[in-house]
Every structure is written in C-alpha cells, then in structure tokens.
Amino acid sequence: MTDVTAEIAIVGGGLAGLTAAVALARTGQSIVLLAPDRPADRRTTALLGESVAFIRSLGVFDAVATQSQPLRGIRVIDATGRLLRAPEVLFDAAELGLDAFGQNVPNEPLLAALEHEAARLGVVRLTATATAIEAGPDAIVIAGPEGTTVAARLCVGADGRKSSVRAAAGIGLREGRNTGQAAVVGTFEHALPHNDISTEFHTPNGPFTLVPLPGNRSALVWVTTTGEADYLRALPPAAIAEAVERQASSFLGAMTSIGPTQAFPLATATATRLVGERIALIGEAAHVLPPIAAQGFNLTLRDIAALARLVSGAPDAGAPDILAAYGREREADLGVRAIAVSLLNRSLLTAFLPAHAARNLGLAVLDAVPQLRRAVMRHGLGAT
C-alpha cells in the first residue's frame, strides 16, 4: 500500500493534466499526478493568442518551436455548394498588428516536453487510475488500484469526457444534440506552399480544415459524417491523399499522406458546474467541443491559467472561496464560446434556408466591415 500526500492531486495525464501539473507546480504547490500510460498522439493543436505566451511561461515551448508553425492567416471558404453562398473571408493577423494568431504545435513532442518539465519540478507521477474519490471538509482522498491512496487539499479532474472525478462530485453533463459527426485527422505533404494560412472549407457535413506545419505540410481536420469518416480512415495512403486533394479543390497541389489517418467521434457537452467539494474540473472533464475555430484546448489553457492564479500562495488550494471564484470565472467564458461553436456547426448541417442566409450574411459583413472583423478576431484569440 502506498500513501501519498500533496496539496493538489491531478487525475488525467493527457495535454490537460500534464499542463495543469506544470502550471500548478510552478505556483509552489506540491503536486501528484495520477494517470495511466498514454498512447501516442499524432494530432496537432492550434494554440491561439495568449495560449502561446502561457505555454512559453511554462518553459516548454522552446522544445517544440522548430516543429511548430506560425498561423498568420485564417481563410474561410464556402464549399457547401448551396444556392446561397458566402464570400471567401481572410482573417489576417497583421490587421491586428500581430505577427501571427498563434502556433500549430504537434501534440506528441508537446506532451514529451510537459512530462520532462513536470518531472524537473518534482511532480510525483503515479501510473494509476482513480478507482474511488471521497471528499471531506479538510481533504480529498483518491484511491487507486492495488491499495494506492492519495490525500490532497484539491483534486483537479483532467480525465476527459467520461471523467471519474466529475462523477464522484455528482456533477451532471449537459449533452448537445448528437450530430452524427466524426473528425478525420492526419498529416499531409503538398506541392504548393501554405503561406502560413490555415484554410477552412465549410461543407454540408462540417468544416474541412488544413492547418499549416513546417515545410509544405499541413495537419488535416476533416469533420464529416461518421459513415464517411470510417470510409476515409480505411483508405490506403494514396487514396486518402487523393480524397483530401479533391476536397481541397487542389489549392495546395498534389497531396501525399504522412503517417496513419485517425478518426474521432464528435460530441458537444458541458458540465452542469465546474466545481464540487474540493474538486475543480478542467479540459474535457468540464467541456467537450467539436474541433471548430480551435477553441477546445485554448479553453482548457484558460481553465488552467485561472486555477493556477487562484491557488498561487493559497494555504488551502481547495478552499470554498477559491473554487467558487474559479467556477464563476470559467463558466462565463465557456458559455459564450460553446454556444458560438455549436451555432456555427449547426448552421452548416441544417437544410433550413434562412439559417444559410443568416450565416452567409454574417460572413459577408465580416468581409466588408474591418472593425467587426477585428473584433471577431480578438474574441477568437481569447478576448472577452
């Protein structure tokens, strides 16, 4: 039997859990991380706005800088083929006086850099899952397999959409409408340069996005029906490359698939609250969003930054006033962004003509009115 005591226990060892471990350890709090061995993650993550600065502040960005790519523009193209079509819109970081909106970072080297930094900061890692969680007035006790127990002042749930921490706190989940979509992801090399511009084609089944990587390479996020996603994932490399080139109207030239293609079912859900007794939820334990407008992990980083700020120097990281402040701050931000992402996705899927007209009018206004376009860009980068 192993008994571990720490100020903060984090359950979950993906990007959310590891980032939280590093950020919270930097506040001076003692940290224990409970997480099973993780599989390789071949996806990329677009870090926008202050997210890049936050990752830099954790001392890990330099380790992934040469494998990342600046995002200097975001192009939106209406590829719905419908009667009412929106104009092409280009969001240019230079219009805000910025060199780039952010960086597209491969997940695997970022995870490795976070693991290294967490170990350097003295984070205790237990290769275990939480089997039982019991909160009390002064501490929370987390039981793992083979008799392992962890006692802490605060438990951070970073264990994904099927969070055991959320369940232990008795926190419900508001699930959005099942849209029957999945995201196909992979990396592709192309003949023509991307010019640091992420291009998003709006299709009747969801957004098809190519996000720049170093060289003539881009990360694919193709949101479509689950049936088509299964079909695409099963294609041999040459065939999936041809399908991607065709969907992209060959604007980047001939495509070559690099590595395996994966597919992930999509869902939209938010926790009914973000805190419980000595519990705080972050990442997909708190909010699950489709990979649209790159809001998912950027929201998670704002969760972590807010929690780290609130617990810094606190004698009791799980005190009710700290958790109440965290819940108020994050619920306000999350609510607006979850609604925006859901509405954009549903506007593509619906056959309702007035909805198409409203969406197209919105994009046309953004194209024509610089002040509004800049406001939307700032909001996408994290401004309130």
Question: Are 75 and 213 members of one domain?
Answer: yes
Q: Which secondary-structure segment (H or E) carries 100?
A: none
Together in a domain, 142 and 255 = no
**Are 273 and 345 contained in the same domain?**
yes
Query: Quick check: 353 pLDDT over 50?
Result: no
Helices 296-311 and 50-57, packing angle to 10 deg: 50
DSSP state of 129: -
How much is the average pLDDT of 119-130? 94
Residues 308-326 have a mean pLDDT of 97
CATH of the domain at 136: 3.50.50.60
For residue range 200-241, what is the model confidence (pLDDT) as tens digits? 998 888 889 999 999 999 999 999 999 999 999 999 999 999
Closest by CA to 341, choosing from 254, 267, 245, is 267
In a domain, 360, yes or no: no
| Close Cβ partners of 92 (under 8 Å, ≥ 6 residues apart) | 72, 73
CATH number for 95: 3.30.9.10
Same domain, 28 and 125: yes
Q: How far apart are CA 130 and CA 87, in angstroms?
A: 50
Residue 193 sits in the same domain as residue 170: no
pLDDT for position 293? 56
Name the residue among 100, 97, 102, 78 with its Cα closest to residue 89. 78
d(CA 86, CA 72): 22
Tokens of 142: 């987390």
Q: How would residue 343 be classed by pLDDT, with cut points 50, 70 and 90? A: low
Q: Which long-range contacts (CB under 8 A, 24 or more apart) does 138-144 make?
A: 139/278, 140/9, 140/277, 140/278, 140/279, 140/318, 142/9, 142/11, 142/34, 144/34
Q: What is the rounded average pLDDT of the residues 170-182?
A: 87
More confident residue, 40 or 104: 104
Q: Tell me if 342 is assigned to some domain.
A: yes
Q: Mean pLDDT, the chain, as a whole number?
A: 87
84 belongs to a structural domain: yes
Joined together, the tokens standing for residue 47 give 């870090």
Residues 224 and 296 placed together within one structural domain of the fold: no
Residue 275 sits in the same domain as residue 343: yes
Q: For residue 83, how many other CB atoms are within 10 A of its CB?
A: 8
Gyration radius (Cα) of the chain, Å: 21
Does residue 320 surpass a pLDDT of 90? yes
pLDDT for 247 beyond 60: yes
Could you read off the pLDDT of 76-113 as tens digits, one per residue? 898 876 655 667 888 899 988 989 999 999 999 999 99
Q: Is the pTM of this model over 0.85?
A: yes
Domain end position, chosen among 224, 239, 265: 265
pLDDT confidence bin for 244, thresholds 50/70/90: very high
Domain of residue 39, residue span = 3-46+107-176+268-350
CA angle centred on 100, ends 95 and 102, rounded to 5°: 130
Query: How many structural domains is the chain composed of?
Result: 2
Which pLDDT belongs to residue 271?
94
With a cut of 90, say whether residue 362 has pLDDT above it.
no
From 85-94, 264-273, 306-315, the region with the lowest mean pLDDT: 85-94
In a domain, 358, yes or no: no
**The pLDDT value given to residue 351:** 47
- At 123, which helix (H) or strand (E)? none
What's the whole-number mean pLDDT along residues 284-306? Answer: 85
Residues 201 and 115 in one domain: no
Query: For residue 107, how far is the Cα from the chain centroid?
Result: 11
Task: Give mean pLDDT, residues 39-68.
Answer: 93
Residue with tokens 């700020």: 309
For residue 259, pLDDT over 50 is answered with yes
Q: What band does 341 get if pLDDT is binned at 50, 70 and 90?
A: low
What confidence score (pLDDT) does residue 167 get? 96
Residue 357: pLDDT band (50, 70, 90) is low
Comparing 47-61, 207-221, 366-380, the range with the smallest average pLDDT is 366-380
Residues 113 and 129 in one domain: yes
pLDDT recorded at residue 382: 57
**What mean pLDDT do residues 174-198 have?**
92
